[in-house]
Structure 1
Amino acid sequence: MNGPLLISSVNWLGDAVMTLPALTAYRTSYPDSPVTLLIKPAMTSFWSLVDPGLDQVVMEAGLIGQVRSALRLRQRRYVRAFILPNSFRSAWIPFLAGIPLRRGVRGHFRSIMFTHVVDLPPVRMHQAYEYFHIMGLDMPRDPLLLPRLHIPAHAVTRASEWMRGSNHWIGMIPGAARGPSKRWPAESFIDAGRQLIHRTNASLLLLGTVAESMLCGQIATGIGPRALNLAGKTTLIDLAAVLGRCRVVVANDSGGMHLAAAVGCRLVALFGITDPVRTGPLGNGHVVIQPPGVQVDRKIARQSVQARDVLHRIHPDQVVGAVLAHLQSRDANFLG
Structure 2
Amino acid sequence: MRGSSVVEGVARIAVLRANAVGDYLMAVPALEALKGAYPDARLTLLGTSWHAEFLTGRPGPVDDVVALPPISGVSTQEAGHPPSEELCEELRERRFDLVVQIHGGGRFSNPFVRRLGARVTAGLRAPGAASLDRWVPYTSYHHETLRFLQVAALVGGAGDGLEEAPVAVTAADRAELAAVLGEPPRGLVAVHPGANDPRRRWPVERFAEVADGIDRPIAVTGTRAEKDLVMGVVTAMSRPATPVVGTLGLGGLAALYERCDLVVANDTGPRHLAAAVGTPTVAVYWCGNLINAGPLTRTRHRPLISWTTACPVCGASGVDPDVARCPHDPSWVTDVPVGLVMEQITDLLTAKGMLT
> TM-score per shorter chain, which class?
0.7 to 0.9
Aligned residues: 325
Give matches, 1:68-83, under 5 Å.
68-83=86-101
Shift of 1:35: 1.6
- Is 1:308 matched with 2:331? yes
Q: 1:285 aligns with which of 296, 300, 308?
A: 300
CA 1:267 to 1:304, structure 2 compared with 1: closer, same or farther past 3 Å? farther
Q: 1:188 aligns with which of 206, 217, 231?
A: 206
Shift of 1:152: 2.0
Q: 1:15 corresponds to which residue?
A: 23
- Is 1:25 matched with 2:33? yes
Q: 2:348 corresponds to which residue?
A: 326
Q: 1:215 corresponds to which residue?
A: 229
Q: Percent identity?
A: 23
TM-score, normalised via structure 1 length: 0.85
Question: Which AA in structure 1 matches 2:335?
Answer: R
SS at match of 1:308: coil
Q: 1:111 corresponds to which residue?
A: 130
| Partners of 1:276 and 1:298 in 2: CA distance | 16
Shift of 1:58: 1.7
- Is 1:168 matched with 2:177? no
- RMSD of the alignment, in Å? 2.9
Shift of 1:134: 1.9
TM-score, normalised via structure 2 length: 0.81
- Compare 81-90 and 17-26 and name the one that shifted more: 81-90
Q: 1:98 aligns with which of 84, 100, 117?
A: 117
Q: 2:250 corresponds to which residue?
A: 236
- Is 1:55 matched with 2:73? no
CA 1:85 to 1:213, structure 2 compared with 1: closer, same or farther past 3 Å? same
SS at match of 1:175: coil
Shift of 1:154: 2.9
Structure richer in helix, relative to its length: 1
CA 1:230 to 1:128, structure 2 compared with 1: closer, same or farther past 3 Å? same
CA 1:189 to 1:213, structure 2 compared with 1: closer, same or farther past 3 Å? same
Shift of 1:303: 5.6
**Preserved CA contact (<8 Å) 1:59 1:65:** no
Q: 1:43 aligns with which of 40, 43, 51?
A: 51
Question: Which AA in structure 2 matches 1:24?
Answer: E
**Preserved CA contact (<8 Å) 2:149 2:159:** no
**Preserved CA contact (<8 Å) 1:45 1:236:** no
| Partners of 2:88 and 2:159 in 1: CA distance | 37
Q: 1:149 corresponds to which residue?
A: 167
Shift of 1:207: 1.1
CA 1:109 to 1:209, structure 2 compared with 1: closer, same or farther past 3 Å? farther
Q: 2:146 corresponds to which residue?
A: 129
| Partners of 2:155 and 2:121 in 1: CA distance | 15
Shift of 1:304: 5.2
| Partners of 2:337 and 2:89 in 1: CA distance | 54
Q: Any stretches of 5+ residues in structure 1 without a counterpart?
A: none
| Partners of 1:129 and 1:76 in 2: CA distance | 29
Shift of 1:184: 0.3
**Preserved CA contact (<8 Å) 1:67 1:93:** no
- Is 1:268 matched with 2:282? yes
Shift of 1:224: 4.5
CA deviation map 1:196-221 (0-9, x unaligned): 2xxx1x11111121111221012112
SS at match of 1:28: helix
Shift of 1:138: 6.7
CA deviation map 1:290-317 (0-9, x unaligned): 1468688497948656x724x1111112
| Partners of 1:71 and 1:246 in 2: CA distance | 46
| Partners of 1:298 and 1:153 in 2: CA distance | 47
Shift of 1:276: 1.9
**Preserved CA contact (<8 Å) 1:274 1:298:** no
**Preserved CA contact (<8 Å) 1:272 1:308:** no
Q: Any stretches of 5+ residues in structure 2 without a counterpart?
A: 1-6, 72-80, 311-317
**Preserved CA contact (<8 Å) 2:191 2:265:** yes
- Compare 238-247 and 99-108 and name the one that shifted more: 99-108
**Preserved CA contact (<8 Å) 1:267 1:286:** yes
| Partners of 1:123 and 1:301 in 2: CA distance | 15
